Amino acid sequence: DTAVSQTPKYLVTQMGNDKSIKCEQNLGHDTMYWYKQDSKKFLKIMFSYNNKELIINETVPNRFSPKSPDKAHLNLHINSLELGDSAVYFCASSQEGNYFSPLHFGNGTRLTVT
Amino acid sequence: KQEVTQIPAALSVPEGENLVLNCSFTDSAIYNLQWFRQDPGKGLTSLLLIQSSQREQTSGRLNASLDKSSGRSTLYIAASQPGDSATYLCAVSSQRDDKIIFGKGTRLHILP
């Protein structure tokens, strides 16, 4: 009965490939996020969507494109993968944007680019 | 620009001891502060959320305080257990740019 689920859990791919990570939340939240956790365990926001609309788009390469078919899903598509894209990517959701409700995170997707 | 710092970066304490984890932030214009727990290879679990108007929140053996004016929060863990071993992260919700900014975490190891 997972609240925020991400697939796949592990993703190993070669440079230059295109890949997608899927995220779904069954909490009825309005806002979803993608975070990147680097090798030093530092979490940094990439994107934030509220009711299918983009509200935060950090300075990530335009090879990264979020897609939100509905407010329960926020998928992350990555084109032309590079070695530096290797990291753990976390999806999260919350109600009412940042302000008053806790963030709920998925278990992460460990992406390894070889 | 909001920055969040957590000290110490790592901490080892014997089982049963009480301990305090620290979090500081540079900009007091926040909506709330949240403490998370991260277990190896897993996602983040929300522990406590303190609104900017609140001073503290409690959940079981955990107590989090917030002093917004000084830009500080502490997470107090009472009677520590080996199962408390994890990385603890704090995050602030910034009013200025509507972002949630994380610290780098404190790796806690409870010695049995």
Instruction: Give the 3-state DSSP-derived string for chain B, with helices as H, strands as E and coil as C.
Output: CCCEEEECCEEEEECCCCEEEEEEECCCCEEEEEEEEECCCCCEEEEEEEECCCCEEEECCEEEEEECCCCEEEEEECCCCHHHCEEEEEEEEECCCCCEEECCCEEEEEEC
Q: Which two tokens stand for residue B10?
A: 């790592």
Dihedral, CA atoms, A96, A98, A99, A101, nearest 10 degrees? 70
CB-CB under 8 Å, A56 with B98: yes
CB-CB under 8 Å, A90 with B46: no
Q: Is the peptide bond before B14 cis (omega within 30 degrees of 0)?
A: no
How far, in Å, CA of B11 to CA of B110, rounded? 8
Model pLDDT for residues A79-106, shown as the tens digit of each residue = 999 999 999 999 999 886 555 567 888 9
Which pLDDT value is given to residue A10?
95
Which pLDDT value is given to residue A100?
57
Band of pLDDT at residue B42, cut at 50, 70 and 90: low
Interface test with A, best of B34, B44, B94 (most A CBs within 10 A): B44
Whether pLDDT at A108 is above 60: yes
Whether pLDDT at A26 is above 90: yes
Model pLDDT for residues B50-59, shown as the tens digit of each residue = 999 999 999 9
Q: Report how many helices (DSSP H) and strands (DSSP E) chain A contains, helices first.
A: 0, 11
The answer to whether the beta carbons of residues B111 and B13 sit under 8 Å apart is: yes
Which pLDDT value is given to residue A97?
59
Which pLDDT value is given to residue A99?
55
Model pLDDT for residues B94-104, shown as the tens digit of each residue = 888 777 888 98
Tell which A residues from 32 to 91 touch B, by Cβ distance under 8 Å: 33, 35, 40-45, 55-56, 90
**Mean pLDDT score across all residues of chain A:** 87
Q: What number is the average pLDDT over the span A16-43?
A: 89
Model pLDDT for residues A37-46, shown as the tens digit of each residue = 877 667 888 8
How far, in Å, CA of A20 to CA of A104, rounded? 21
B46 touches chain A (CB under 8 A): yes
Which pLDDT value is given to residue A17?
97
Q: Bridge partners of A45?
A: A35
Q: What number is the average pLDDT over the span B21-44?
A: 88
Strands B30-38 and B44-51: antiparallel
Which pLDDT value is given to residue A8?
96
Which pLDDT value is given to residue A78?
96
CB-CB under 8 Å, B32 with A103: no
**Chain A residue at shortest CA distance from B6:** A42
How far, in Å, CA of A13 to CA of A11, rounded? 6
Model pLDDT for residues B58-111, shown as the tens digit of each residue = 999 999 999 999 999 999 999 999 999 999 999 998 888 777 888 989 999 999
Choose the closest CB to A105 out of B43, B51, B99.
B43
